[in-house]
Structure 1
Amino acid sequence: MNQYFATVARGLEPIAAQELEKLGAKDVRPEFTGVHFSGDLGLLYRVNLWSRIIFRVLVPLREFRCVNAQMLYREVQKFSWEEYLTPEQSLAVNCTGSNAQLNHTHFTALQVKNAIVDQQREQFGERSNVDAQNPDLLINLHIHENQAILSLDSSGGSLHRRGYRPAMGIAPLKETLAAAILEMAEYDGSLPFYDPLCGSGTLPLEAGLKALNIAPGLFREKFGFMSWKNYDEALWEEIVGEAEKADLPALKAPIYGSDRDGEVLKQARNNAMNCGLGKDIQFSEKELYFIEPPADSGILICNPPYGERLGDAEELGDFYKLMGDVFKQRFKGWTAYILTGNKELAKRVGLRTAKKMPVFNGSIACTLLKYELY
């Protein structure tokens, strides 16, 4: 059994832990912005392929005391890097966290890189090049107070970049957060889904992938572990083959998205085509005032602007009031969810909340508000 660590957005640790357990992870233990777990190599591949919630899967190599740059350099050099990296392969280093002496992540990453390539020069007379965009080996260093954890990043790029969405609207929701919101709303594909402010389509697309049991990693061309010396291509192909057979042939209930912006809807439709959902999600151009329920009951989820990034909070008050009025008058029998980072705007909705769930959208403290519409 190998030890792994999944990084996750703040506040989503319990949801990520549940997802990992469903995927077969053992010894699951959430902590701040991450989840420890254990499993075999197949689990590592499966989590990268199937996780909808987490950002990266790290494989810890060693933990050590680290108070300054000199100590960091010495400790990194103690590791036998030839087991993981040849001079012909490229590398990159990501750093998170800090302490009193190591308080600039770029400088800290430079110390790690220097320690590795200096070891290579001494052993082989040549060294790996740095490739920040597409390295063969991506190394992660996390510093907390005077402790450091050195890990390999098995995911490569963040898993929220599914690979299906080259087109994004203004201030898009990360796919991982959209998937977490669907979990919080207990969406399972059995009821109609509608996002009346869908933008480039993240919520409807993630709803579609979930409803059809499509592994989000199927759209990615590369994962970090594919360049590792222990990469088992046959095992990976077996796990991908299982995933390709696991998707459902059709939606149990329809999925809808609408937006006032016709150009951003073109992006949404392109994104849907890219992940094979072009015929499954029904997008339409509509102002909020003119929307109608597409079914007698269902789940409505939206992420309206809340003044932090888009629009001005004062001007948005009337919009929130309109949103509440439309939902109350036209969507009887539905359950609505609104993600907002502005408590004053939330009050303007004018509906009684059935539940308030804290969640972070990046660094913005938000609340997912649930409304039972009768």
Structure 2
Amino acid sequence: MPQFIATCAKGLEYLLVDELVALGTNNVKEGLSQVSFECDWQGVYQVLMWSRLASRVFYPIASFDAEDDEVLYQQASIIDWSQHINPKKTFLVNSQSFRSRLSHTQFISQRVKDAIVDYFRDAEEQRPCVDFEEPDVVVHCRIRRDKVNLSIDLAGNGLHRRGYRAEGGGAPIKENLAAALLTRAGWPHASGVLFDPMCGSGTFLIEGAMMALDIAPGLYREYLGLFGWQQFNQKIWEQVKQEAEQRKQQGLQKGEIDIFGSDINPKSVRNAQTNAAIAGLDDFIKIRIAGIDQIAQFEYPDNGVLVVNPPYSERLGEYNQVKKLYHELGEVLKSHLKGWDASVLSPDKDFGHALGIRAKKIYKFNNGSIPCELLNFELTESNFIQRVSDDSVETDFKSKLSEQALQLCNRIEKKRDKLKRFLKKEGITCYRIYDADLPEYNAAIDVYEERLHIQEYRAPKSIDETIALRRLKEIERVAAGVFQIPRSQVFTKQRRRQKGDWQYTSQNEKPHSNADSDNFKQVNESGRKFWVNLSDYLDTGLFLDHRKTRQLVAQKSAGKTLLNLFCYTASVSVYAATAGAKSTVNVDMSRTYLDWAKRNFSLNKIKFDRHEFIRSNCMDWLKEAIEDGLKFDLIFLDPPTFSNSKKMSSHFDIQTDHCELIEQCGSLLSEGGELVFSNNFQKFEMEFEGNEQFSLTEITTKTHSQDFARNNLHRSWLIAKK
């Protein structure tokens, strides 16, 4: 009996095994992201027609070892390709490689392609052509640990392509993954009711209707790799297709389902309606324009199944907004859909916790390259988690702390008492209160007047993600409790391990609203005012460890010209301008930060006539400034540790490039001018030693502040032109 391999998304192997057994295949064995099985040819045609979960179906034709391309070519050349490929038709070779000497998949495909073409040329037959769009036959080459497996891809392309999707919208979930998650959600359901409140292009709704109405996922396909294969049996396929059509008509006649969805985006709703119509299911699926906050406007049955894939993003500011969306979704589920079953996709445990509902079951899977969870809920009062309102102050927070969290609480309280006299004397309202003092709580906590900003340091891989998340939650509770502020005024930045496209940092050029928006707040420092944003960016707009550096520059600025390179939000220039600087020139590559800098100037009522804001790569600008003979009395230089921005012609590394950078700045100094140089690379070694023109003095102790006593973030030098 022929053997086959069906592939699937990681985490769905169990479901695919059950499905293949139900379809009548034999000797079904689970592997990693694939399942092997045996059946006759009519059976595999049934799989291609009816499998809702498989990504592809392969028919293995050869297996051999190959450590180099010559062996690969020779072994592929001796296969009788006339059994699989008509030389008058087209073909394509796709390749995968895992832990093998042959690792370049494009080169592997090329060598197998050469072997196939040469096989027909040696037989003095017409050579088949390659087609990258819709080839008649697709050959799949998979190499693992130098073991080569060649197969015919009977699907030709992904089986998730059902043929009904006209418009996908933004990153739609694949159809076969949607079908798997619906199965995990318990669909089809006894109530026959399915609801997706963020339906996007309608994938869950359409797949759900096809499952409930017994419509084969392969019925609408116009293309399969099977069709151009030499051994394709048209008669068997027509029989399978006719049977599927009969079952579809019977399902449509029965039609006892109630499927509806909504989305806040009108374009997504139009796309979903179009897709449902193409699938011939528009009479069974109702879709309306509505946001999550509008769900209460509609009436719902007493029970049903809700399945939803909320939007999420890799960007930090949007991450916080998505977390809020999950919280709002949880409130809606608890208020309006009691008695229902709900299944919610989440790429991050923090999102799932924001729902405020105890999960009945959690399934792990991959959505593309992103590890995710499907959270299954029974929406009953007993599963609703009562949380302290984010807008309330938790006065008895200590009674709910673990022993370790109490240690953290004591550490923060002692630090606050120790800093109290210093802060009052210096008039400081923005400062660091905690910096990973306890190894279990690996984060920094900064106070910004009435708000707290927490930055989690990247946890070691040895620390379980669940434990790391619990500890971070304890940090938030303790910090809010010690300072007696609502949790809504605690802003947390997580540096989580990368998952697919999910990144550790936010975008630098993210457009944002004006400084009066809710995300921007004013803070005071040494009589100056600054805008800070505690939610949308990894950095807030004001480096607290540079407080004394800013004061030092201000002391030197009266009547002088200042150049501020890598100026960020130009807080140093605000100090200089308010201290009587003659002029400032502020250079940075980011439009976002230059706009922010201008708003800081406006906030301090500084006129712009003697101050420039230049958007440029600082390295390029320096060269032009030297050629133009520009001179400055004072230069502040606080470059990044490393940068490889697309706007730069080459990457920048502070250790490698600092000598050249300092020398260039030195050529812009007036006689008697001074350069304040700083950086936060912890392993930095100063290699510029000064010369007959310049003196060099490390001034880190002068720019070091008491609230950063445990972990000073920067080192600084004063370089003076003699």
Give the TM-score range, shorter chain. over 0.9
Pick one of 266, 270, 275 that aligns with 1:271. Answer: 275
Pick one of 338, 345, 348 that aligns with 2:344. Answer: 338
Q: Which residue does the alignment assign to 1:4?
A: 4
Deviations 1:62-112 (A, max 9, x none): 111111111111110121112222321211001112344311111110010
Contact 1:189–1:210 (8 Å) recurs in 2: no
Contact 2:90–2:135 (8 Å) recurs in 1: yes
Describe the SS at the equivalent of 1:28.
strand
Pick one of 260, 280, 288 that aligns with 2:292. Answer: 288
The reply on whether 1:373 has 2:374 as its aligned counterpart is no
Cα 1:311–1:24 shift into 2, 3 Å? farther
Q: Distance in 2 between matches of 1:218 and 1:208?
A: 14
Q: Which residue does the alignment assign to 1:43?
A: 43
The Cα shift of 1:189 comes to 4.5
Q: Which residue does the alignment assign to 2:325?
A: 319
| Structure 1, 263-272 or 229-238: larger mean CA deviation | 229-238
Q: Distance in 2 between matches of 1:306 and 1:204?
A: 20
* Equivalent runs, 1:126-137 vs 2, <5 Å: 126-137=126-137
The reply on whether 1:70 has 2:79 as its aligned counterpart is no
The reply on whether 1:352 has 2:358 as its aligned counterpart is yes
* Equivalent runs, 1:90-101 vs 2, <5 Å: 90-101=90-101
The Cα shift of 1:230 comes to 2.1
Deviations 1:302-346 (A, max 9, x none): 000233389721122221111111100111110111101011121
The reply on whether 1:260 has 2:261 as its aligned counterpart is no
Q: Which residue does the alignment assign to 1:195?
A: 196
Q: Distance in 2 between matches of 1:184 and 1:310?
A: 30
Q: Which amino acid aligns with 1:79?
A: I
Q: Distance in 2 between matches of 1:158 and 1:310?
A: 32
Unaligned runs of 5+ residues in structure 1 are none
| Structure 1, 297-306 or 222-231: larger mean CA deviation | 222-231
The Cα shift of 1:218 comes to 0.7
Contact 1:69–1:101 (8 Å) recurs in 2: no
Q: Which amino acid aligns with 1:370?
A: N
Q: Which residue does the alignment assign to 2:444?
A: none
Describe the SS at the equivalent of 2:358.
coil
Structure of higher CA gyration radius = 2
The Cα shift of 1:353 comes to 1.3
Deviations 1:137-157 (A, max 9, x none): 110011101101000011111
The reply on whether 1:251 has 2:255 as its aligned counterpart is yes
The Cα shift of 1:289 comes to 0.6
Q: Distance in 2 between matches of 1:209 and 1:144?
A: 37
Q: Which amino acid aligns with 1:229?
A: Q
Q: Which amino acid aligns with 2:282?
A: G
Matched positions, count: 374
Q: Give runs of ≥4 in structure 1 deviating > 6 Å.
A: none
Cα 1:309–1:195 shift into 2, 3 Å? farther
The Cα shift of 1:37 comes to 0.3
Describe the SS at the equivalent of 1:312.
helix
Describe the SS at the equivalent of 2:133.
coil
The Cα shift of 1:134 comes to 1.4
Q: Which amino acid aligns with 2:22?
A: K
* Equivalent runs, 1:115-264 vs 2, <5 Å: 115-191=115-191, 192-247=193-248, 248=251, 249-264=253-268
Contact 2:25–2:38 (8 Å) recurs in 1: yes
Cα 1:172–1:310 shift into 2, 3 Å? farther
Q: Which amino acid aligns with 2:267?
A: E
Q: Which amino acid aligns with 1:234?
A: K
Q: Which amino acid aligns with 1:253?
A: I
Contact 2:9–2:365 (8 Å) recurs in 1: no
The Cα shift of 1:352 comes to 1.3
Q: Which residue does the alignment assign to 2:306?
A: 300
Q: Distance in 1 between matches of 2:315 and 2:340?
A: 29
The Cα shift of 1:210 comes to 0.2
Contact 1:189–1:251 (8 Å) recurs in 2: no
Contact 1:324–1:349 (8 Å) recurs in 2: yes
Q: Distance in 1 between matches of 2:316 and 2:110?
A: 36
| Structure 1, 50-59 or 219-228: larger mean CA deviation | 219-228
Higher relative contact order (CA 8 A, sep 6+): 1
The Cα shift of 1:120 comes to 1.1
Q: Distance in 2 between matches of 1:310 and 1:5?
A: 40
Contact 1:306–1:342 (8 Å) recurs in 2: no
Q: Distance in 2 between matches of 1:254 and 1:222?
A: 31
Q: CA RMSD in A?
A: 1.4
Deviations 1:29-85 (A, max 9, x none): 010010000111101111111110001110000111111111111110121112222
Pick one of 358, 363, 367 that aligns with 2:369. Answer: 363
* Identity percentage of aligned residues: 37
| Structure 1, 114-123 or 220-229: larger mean CA deviation | 220-229
Unaligned runs of 5+ residues in structure 2 are 381-722
Describe the SS at the equivalent of 1:282.
strand
Describe the SS at the equivalent of 2:159.
coil
Describe the SS at the equivalent of 2:226.
helix
Q: Distance in 1 between matches of 2:218 and 2:273?
A: 20
Q: Distance in 2 between matches of 1:5 and 1:354?
A: 33
Contact 1:321–1:349 (8 Å) recurs in 2: yes
Q: Distance in 2 between matches of 1:257 and 1:163?
A: 21
Q: Distance in 2 between matches of 1:205 and 1:127?
A: 42
Contact 2:100–2:143 (8 Å) recurs in 1: no
Q: Distance in 1 between matches of 2:223 and 2:109?
A: 23
Q: Distance in 2 between matches of 1:304 and 1:97?
A: 34
Q: Distance in 1 between matches of 2:367 and 2:16?
A: 16
| Structure 1, 362-371 or 247-256: larger mean CA deviation | 247-256
Contact 2:199–2:261 (8 Å) recurs in 1: yes
Deviations 1:170-192 (A, max 9, x none): 01000011000011112114321
Q: Distance in 2 between matches of 1:107 and 1:347?
A: 46
Q: Which amino acid aligns with 2:285?
A: I
Contact 1:48–1:155 (8 Å) recurs in 2: yes
* Equivalent runs, 1:71-90 vs 2, <5 Å: 71-90=71-90
